[in-house]
Amino acid sequence: ENQIKWWQKAVIYQIYPRSFQDSNNDGIGDLKGIISRLDYVKKLGADVIWLNPIYKSPNMDNGYDISDYEAINPEFGTMDDFDTLLKEAHARGIKVVMDLVVNHSSDQHQWFVESRSSKDAYKRDFYIWRDPVDGHEPNNWGSYFSGPAWKFDEATGQYYLKLFADGQPDLNWENPKLRQAIYDMMNAWVDRGIDGFRMDTISLYSKRPGLPDGPVMEGSQYADPGERVANGPRIHEFIQEMRQKVLNNKDMITVGEASATDIENAKKYANLDGSEVNMVFQFEHVELDSNPEPALTKWYDQRLPLPRLKENLTKWQTAMAGVAWNSLYWENHDQPRSVSRFGSDKPEFRVKSAKMLATLLHFMQGTPYIYQGQEIGMTNAKNFGWDDFDDIEIKNARKYLVDRDHLVDADTMLSYVHYKGRDNARTPMQWTNGKNAGFTEGTPWLKLNDNFEEINVDAALADEDSVFYHYQKLINFRHNLDIVTTGRYELLDLDDEEVYAYKRVGEKEELLVINSFVEESIERDYQVPENAERLISNYKDDEGKTLRPFESKVYRIK
Ligand code: TEU
Ligand code: CA
How distant is the alpha carbon of residue 455 from its chain centre? 22
**Residues, the chain, total?**
558
Asked if the structure places residue 323 within a domain, the reply is yes
pLDDT in tens, 121-177: 999 999 999 999 999 999 999 999 999 999 999 999 999 999 999 999 999 999 999
Instruction: Give Dmax (Cα) for the chain.
Output: 77
Report d(CA 179, CA 175) in Å as an integer.
7
Domain assignment present for 169: no
Give the strand pairing for 158-161 and 129-130. antiparallel
Q: Whose alpha carbon is nearest atom 16 of ligand 1? A: 334
Residue 116 maps to which CATH number?
A: 3.90.400.10
Report d(CA 79, CA 85) in Å as an integer: 10
For the segment 274-302, what is each residue's pLDDT rounded down to a tens digit? Answer: 999 999 999 999 999 999 999 999 999 99
Which residue owns the Cα nearest ligand 1 atom 9? 334
Q: Find the mean pLDDT for residues 355-384.
A: 98
Q: Which residues contact 42 (CB under 8 A, 6 or more apart)?
A: 92, 93, 94
In sequence order, the 6+-apart residues with CB closer than 8 A to the CB of 113 are: none
168 assigned to some structural domain: no
Quick one: pLDDT at residue 247?
80
The bound ligand whose nearest atom lies closest to the alpha carbon of 142 is 1
Same domain, 290 and 418: yes
Q: Which of the listed residues 422, 448, 474 is the one where a domain comes to its end? A: 474
| 51, 55, 164, best to mutate for ligand 1 pocket (most atoms within 8 Å of CB) | 164
Residues 114 and 244 in one domain: no
Q: How far is the CA of 64 from the centre of ligand 1 (A)?
A: 9
Q: Measuring from atom 6 of ligand 1, which residue has the nearest CA?
A: 144
CA of 90 to the centre of ligand 2 (A): 23
Residues 273 and 396 in one domain: yes
Kindly state whether residue 546 falls inside one of the protein's structural domains: yes
Distance 335 CA to ligand 1 centre (A): 9
Ligand 1 atom closest to the Cα of residue 298 is 12
pTM of the complete model: 0.98
Asked, for residue 402, whether it belongs to a domain, the answer is yes
- In this structure, what CATH number is given to the domain that contains residue 66? 3.20.20.80
- Exposure on the CB side of residue 80, measured as CA atoms within 13 A: 0
Number of domain units in the chain: 3
Pair (417, 282) in one structural domain: yes
**2 confidence band (pLDDT: 50, 70, 90):** low
Q: Which atom of ligand 1 is nearest to the CA of 164?
A: 22
Catalytic residue numbers? Answer: 200, 257
In terms of domains, do 340 and 465 share one? Answer: yes
Residue 160's SS3 state is: strand
Shared-domain flag, residues 98 and 131: no
Atom number of ligand 1 nearest to Cα 163: 22
For ligand 1, what atom is nearest to the CA of residue 332?
15
**Is 540 part of any domain?**
yes
CA separation for the pair 445, 380 (Å, rounded): 17
Do 196 and 141 sit in the same domain of this protein?
no
Least confident of 2-6, 40-44, 472-476, 497-501: 2-6
Note the ligand closest to the C-alpha atom of 201: 1
**Residue 516's domain is classified under what CATH number?**
2.60.40.1180
Kindly indicate the confidence band of residue 403, based on its pLDDT and cuts at 50, 70 and 90.
very high
Residue 162's pLDDT is what? 98
End residue of a domain, out of 474, 495, 529: 474
Q: Which ligand sits closest to the CA of 14?
A: 1
What range does the domain containing 528 cover?
Answer: 485-557
pLDDT digits (tens, 9 = 90+) for 412-447: 999 999 999 999 999 999 999 999 999 999 999 999
Last residue of a domain, one of 455, 474, 493: 474
pLDDT averaged over the chain? 97
Q: Please give the pLDDT value at position 1.
A: 44
Spatial distance between the Cα atoms of 371 and 125, rounded to a whole number of angstroms:
37
